Amino acid sequence: MAEIDQAAEVIEAPFEAPTANEPMLNKWFKAVIKLKASDLHLKADFPAAVRVKGVSGGRSKGALRALTGGPLADSLLRKGLMELLNPKQKALFEDKGAIDFAYDVGPPGDADRFRVNAFLQRGKLSFAARRVTREIRRFEELYLPETLSQVCEFREGVVLLAGVTGSGKSTTIAAMIDWINEREAVHIVTLEDPIEYLFSDKQARINQREIGIDCPTFHDGLKYLMREDPDIVLVGEMRDLETFAAAIHAAETGHLVFGTIHASSSAQTISRILDLFPETERRAMRQALEFNLKAVICQKLIKSIHPKTPVVPTVEVMISNPSVRKLIREERDNELIDVIRSCYADGMVDFTENLRRLVETGYIDHATAYAASPNPNELKMALKGIRSGQSAILG
């Protein structure tokens, strides 16, 4: 495999000679695969570029680095695009000036998939192509708590992954789906926008549907979901009332539903869900959450000092128990953190405790931990072995 010189501004592209009748753009897609890059950028009048994780200068996503080969002509890119599109897609591109599509490179069943957006800018063509990986890592490789395997064993209900964009939610949820895939002969259906990881069937049968390619919208995908006989459902992002209501309905009918939401804590997750609904429906939704919400896993990525690990996740894990259900029912969401802190032995963990563990195991330094902590003073006490008192919420 080609090695990447992290100090170089330009990467030597490992181009392969094209086979007969092969689309010309495969030359660059195959280079991305060999370099194990995450993204390919093609822009008229500029050299091709790839995004390489672990290369400095690219923020948390990795730096963009140009490939050898010189500037690409707009006419060449347009010809290459037309080789990849069907007649309907060509008409859409001509009408809208942009097109989203999926493209496979390699033999069926073992192909590398790219999620491609081709668009016009200043009258010329550009591409942004994200490589959809099959490399799904295990919990221990991601430095995630063992509790997540306990969460994967729920038979029904809703499990939510919370965090901002780029916090690693998709990576964590992929690890959870694959944990089940390795152990249970179940049917898993995913609705994703976009597909981030490609699963290979192991014990489970997995069908992945991409919004905009396999079905028009989340609403359309959820409409037919129950006719597809799923045991487990992944809804890529719960961003509106209809999607969340459908997910709750799936949980109430005996399915385990995974989903993601933008929130920074378990308490905020409850608030974000309720904000999706009109005031008159929030009492009923609280009741639905009381009975159907099984776990909330909040996550953010922070810089690591470990030589082989550039970033690690810090997490808060809340698992539904009688105390959690009581607080949700009584609208005491701000006290959920007290239940989490009192239930470490049951697999729950808050950010303070998780950061303490990361410091003591040598994955992050004190400065990073304090910067990431929602309560630095409490973390400072925890690092000294002092745990804050718990409120009497069970009475």
pLDDT above 80 for 56 = no
Is 51 within 8 Å of 63 (Cβ atoms)? yes
How high is the pLDDT of residue 4?
A: 45
Q: Which residue has the higher pLDDT, 308 or 298?
A: 298
How high is the pLDDT of residue 61?
A: 56
Mean of all residue pLDDT scores within the chain: 90
pLDDT above 60 for 376 = yes
Instruction: Give this prediction's pTM.
Output: 0.82
Q: What domains, with CATH codes, occur in the chain?
A: 10-132 (3.30.450.90), 140-383 (3.40.50.300)
Query: CB count, 10 Å around CB of 188?
Result: 23
Most confident of 99-108, 198-207, 300-309: 198-207
Q: What average pLDDT does the segment 74-91 reach?
A: 95
How high is the pLDDT of residue 300?
A: 95
pLDDT digits (tens, 9 = 90+) for 11-41: 888 888 777 788 999 999 999 999 989 899 9
Is 288 within 8 Å of 252 (Cβ atoms)? yes
> In whole angstroms, what is the distance from residue 32 CA to residue 50 CA?
7
How high is the pLDDT of residue 60?
A: 47
295 to 136, 159, 267, 321: CA distances (angstroms)? 22, 5, 12, 9
Q: Which of 49-63, 131-145, 237-251, 346-360 has the lowest mean pLDDT?
A: 49-63
How high is the pLDDT of residue 53?
A: 66
> In whole angstroms, what is the distance from residue 312 CA to residue 79 CA?
42
pLDDT above 50 for 57 = no
If residue 34 lies in a helix (H) or strand (E), which one and from where to where?
A: helix 26-35
